[in-house]
Amino acid sequence: MTDKIQEIQKRVQASREDIIQFMLEIVEIPSMDSQLKDVGERIAKEMNKLGFDEVRFDKMGNIMGRIGNGKRVIVYDSHVDTVGIGDPTEWKWDPFKGKIEDGILYARGACDEKGSTPGMIYGLAMARDLGLLDGWTAYYFGNMEEWCDGIAPNTFVEVDPKVKPDFVVIGEPTKMLVYRGHKGRLEMKVTAKGRSAHAASNHLGDNAIYKLLPIIAGIRDLEPKLGDHEFLGHGKITVSDMHVKTPSINAVPDEAIIFIDRRMTFGETKEMVKRQVEDLIPAEFKDTVKLEELFYDEPSYTGFVFPVDKYFPAWALDEDHALVQAGQLARKTIGLSEAPSSKWNFSTNGIYWAGKAGIPSIGFGPGDEETAHTVRDSVSLEDMVKATEFYAILPSLIMG
């Protein structure tokens, strides 16, 4: 194994400029609102250059590449869509061309999550060339995640290519640590119905906004009472958006909706979470205020629709799980300092892979999630290249 890792490191250094150039080119291609076609074609070009056995888009429009036909199946999951850039004046550089300063690439998607794609693709190709994928079928899966995490892997297993992997590695930023879980989530909305009237005669109306005020205050005060877990941490709840329907700004609104993001830790069920919010609706408003789970059925850019509810279970692997241990051994083998496994604060495709499908999954990627979705979106180029070594060596270290 010492000879193998030395050869991997030699090959990674020889490919360093190619890996970095590939990264610069994929961040330069906008892929907001799940529009993956252009960046997917660029990624496909690199996989074809490296000799992947199969390279194609799936029905949803995600890009995938396969190496091998072994009985054991591993998927490297990297979402390559991004959020938008927000207010352009907040950026001090072009968010797509980015800038490199002190070895750090600042660009939209650098951290979240294009930074794992070059290492995954080059790492798998190197593992194949060194015989480290014998007995494996390995997939790179560049997918859309930002608007509904978990939907892309759901289609991977159930629609196209209809493969349930044995193991998954998620490339979301982990600061080059092994991550083994995160909280789940339930997205909900509360709709209040009222009666419109002219603002000059507001006594004739029934203001829908006012019906939501006690619920909003209750949500604000609810968090200290939520569940806790020694690894995943405390539950969270936030009113994340509000829509109002009104004939004009000089009228009493006849409908108001709040959207709720509820982060769930272990020990919290979907039924419990819904009941906590329903209990905040005053008795006198029960007939005109309703709680609903959110549902995702937006078509992808290919027109593909895969309806799912927006419930995402919490998940975590045990520290002594074979995949976690392999990840830790891979870190040590490539020369990273020992560090305990950890977890994400945000949500990933792990909510489907591990949370719904029960597939053992870990996270490993360059970048710090705290820069995700900000104008500081960034990744260390040194870490991005180094991650290639991890992705190359990992499959050969997985026991069981």
Residue 222: exposure state from Cβ atoms within 10 A (0-12, 13-18, ≥19): middle
The two beta strands, 72-79 and 167-170, are parallel
In sequence order, what are the residues at sequence separation of 6 or more whose Cβ sits closer than 8 angstroms to the Cβ of residue 259?
Answer: 187, 188, 189, 239, 240, 241, 242, 243, 294
- Reduce the DSSP state of residue 350 to 3 states and report it: helix
Which one of the listed residues 145, 149, 254, 383 is annotated catalytic? 145
- Other C-beta atoms lying within 10 Å of the C-beta of residue 229: 17
8 Å CB contact between 146 and 79: yes
Helical packing angle, 381-393 and 2-14, nearest 10°: 140
- Please confirm, yes or no, whether 81 is among the known catalytic residues: yes
Q: How far apart are CA 55 and CA 343, in angstroms?
A: 31
Amino acid at the residue 104: I
Helical packing angle, 270-278 and 208-222, nearest 10°: 130
Q: Which two tokens stand for residue 297?
A: 């059925």
Which one of the listed residues 81, 112, 187, 389 is annotated catalytic? 81
- Please confirm, yes or no, whether 90 is among the known catalytic residues: no
B/e letters for 8-25, b = 16+ CB within 10 Å, e = fewer, are bbebbeebeeebbebbbe
Catalytic residues: 81, 145
